[in-house]
Amino acid sequence: MFQNVDNKQFKELFKKANTLVLDVRTPKEVAEGHIPQANLFLDINGAFFESELVKLDKSKNYLVYCRSGARSARACKIMEDKGFKGELYNLAMGITGWDGDVKK
């Protein structure tokens, strides 16, 4: 089961081995700025979200975020349903509540 985490926890989890950061916002939102550690970008509302999602390594840990935390929570649930075995973390307040650096 995925966990909702705050900014501080999210930042600490960057250091965890075998962890990837997944941004599930639209390409337009990503272009406005993203968390620098993000290394995967899959629009949860895009036509290919689930087909691209299943290509990811299900054994890795994923830090997932969106604008406000709702879409990323939905993404974590889909990942659970698709058999992801690593730990799943949702940035509860999304990037709008992010207090770290943003890369444009």
pLDDT digits (tens, 9 = 90+) for 75-103: 999 999 999 999 999 999 999 999 999 99
Between the CA of residue 13 and those of 23, 37, 52, 61, 62, what are the distances in Å?
Answer: 15, 11, 24, 9, 9
CA distance 48 to 99: 30
104: in domain: no
The answer to whether residue 66 is catalytic is yes
Mean pLDDT computed over every residue of the chain: 97
pLDDT, residue 45, reads: 97
Number of domains in the chain: 1
The SS3 assignment for 51 reads helix
Residue 89: closest CA among 13, 16, 38: 13
Residues in Cβ contact with 36 at an 8 Å cutoff, skipping those fewer than 6 apart: 101, 102, 103
103: in domain: no
Supply the CATH number for residue 64's domain: 3.40.250.10
Domain that holds residue 22: 3-97
Q: Which of 35, 64, 66, 76 is catalytic?
A: 66
69: in domain: yes
Q: Give the confidence band of 39 by pLDDT, cuts at 50, 70, 90.
A: very high
pLDDT, residue 4, reads: 98
pLDDT, residue 64, reads: 98
pLDDT, residue 63, reads: 98
